[in-house]
């Protein structure tokens, strides 16, 4: 059974976002919510959450404009108050919210732009880890590919879309350029990493996304290569792996079956 304090806290949180907090608040909160000072607190909480979303989703905000963004953010905030004290990580479900938000229906790429903004934040706050030495992968014998798997760096994030130029749309708006008039409308992917102190981003091909997906599932290197070639039989695996290594997508080459680790 919830404690009296927990019940009070839940009712207080609901009253912060209620259309009529004094009327909707649970017993013990109504009188508090009716006080003028409570309205000031409500406005401060709402503004703080909206400001945090705008800071965490800058490409989305530039695409739709500040007025549209803040109106949509207000709807989201009423459905999802922060669960953590820090607002740097706030808005994990914003992309999914936008994907079903009726006013965004004419912008089919908007939710994916939000997903890339979110991946940037995740890469930014991810744990530090060493980078895989490219020489360790280059020295791997072909027969060992069935007994090694690549451990992804904690900051590695990626996204692929078959029909939308998501990387170009996102990267342009992230950099402050909202002009999409000259875009070629075809599938694109994005890779975000943070090998050292700064989040890096660049384009990613479909084969690269399939390769990383396989690594994320814990598949051995041979199966990850197969997944990449099944996606694009013309993919240059040497160029692809070099791109991923240089970007800092991996932290280690791991054995399976109780072998000693390589790094």
The gap from C-alpha 246 to its chain's centroid, in whole angstroms, comes to 21
Q: How far, in Å, CA of 263 to CA of 136, rounded?
A: 6
Measured N-to-C along each axis, helices 36-56 and 110-125 cross at an angle, to the nearest 10 degrees, of: 90
**b (16+ CB within 10 A) / e for 198-235:** ebebeebbbbbbbbbbbbeeebbbbbbbebbeebeeeb
CB atoms within 10 A of CB 89: 17
Whose CA is closest to 142, among 242, 216, 220? 220
Whose CA is closest to 157, among 110, 117, 129? 117
- Residue appearing with tokens 């008039």: 181
How does pLDDT run along the chain (263 residues), one tens digit per residue? 457 666 666 666 666 665 555 555 555 666 666 666 565 556 677 899 999 999 999 999 999 999 999 999 999 998 888 888 788 899 999 999 999 999 999 999 999 999 999 999 999 999 999 999 999 999 999 899 999 999 999 999 999 999 999 999 999 999 887 677 788 899 999 999 999 999 999 999 999 999 999 999 999 999 999 999 999 999 999 999 999 999 999 999 999 864 444 44
Alpha helices in 90-236 (DSSP H): 94-99, 110-125, 134-138, 166-174, 206-216, 221-231
- Residue appearing with tokens 């945090």: 52
Whose CA is closest to 55, among 123, 118, 4? 118
**This prediction's pTM:** 0.85
Q: How far, in Å, CA of 3 to CA of 91, rounded?
A: 28
pLDDT for the residue numbered 9: 63
- Pairing label, strands 188-193, 200-203: antiparallel
Q: How far, in Å, CA of 113 to CA of 91, rounded?
A: 14
Measured between alpha carbons, how far is residue 32 from residues 10, 37, 197, 246, 252 in Å?
Answer: 14, 9, 46, 57, 55
93 backbone dihedrals φ, ψ, rounded to 5°: -100, 15
């Amino acid at each position: 059974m919830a404690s009296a304090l927990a019940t009070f806290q839940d009712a207080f949180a609901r009253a912060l976002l209620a259309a009529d907090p004094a009327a909707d608040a649970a017993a013990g909160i109504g009188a508090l919510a009716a006080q003028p000072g409570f309205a000031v607190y409500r406005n401060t909480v709402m503004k703080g959450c909206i400001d945090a979303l705008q800071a965490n989703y800058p490409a989305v905000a530039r695409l739709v404009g500040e007025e549209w963004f803040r109106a949509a953010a207000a709807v989201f905030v009423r459905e999802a108050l922060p669960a953590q004290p820090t607002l740097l990580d706030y808005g994990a479900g914003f992309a999914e919210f936008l994907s079903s938000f009726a006013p965004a229906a004419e912008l089919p790429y908007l939710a994916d732009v939000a997903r890339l903004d979110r991946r940037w934040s995740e890469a930014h706050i991810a744990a530090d880890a060493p980078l895989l030495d490219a020489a360790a992968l280059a020295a791997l014998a072909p027969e060992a590919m069935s007994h090694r798997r690549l451990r992804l760096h904690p900051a590695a994030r990626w996204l692929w879309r078959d029909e939308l130029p998501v990387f170009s749309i996102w990267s342009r708006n992230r950099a402050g350029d909202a002009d999409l008039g000259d875009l070629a409308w075809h599938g694109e992917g994005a890779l975000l990493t943070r090998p050292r102190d700064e989040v890096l981003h660049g384009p990613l091909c479909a084969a690269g996304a399939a390769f990383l997906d396989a690594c994320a599932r814990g598949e051995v290197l041979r199966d990850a290569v197969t997944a990449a070639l099944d996606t694009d039989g013309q993919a240059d695996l040497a160029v692809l792996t070099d791109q991923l290594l240089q970007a800092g997508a991996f932290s280690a080459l791991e054995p399976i079956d109780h072998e000693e680790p390589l790094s």
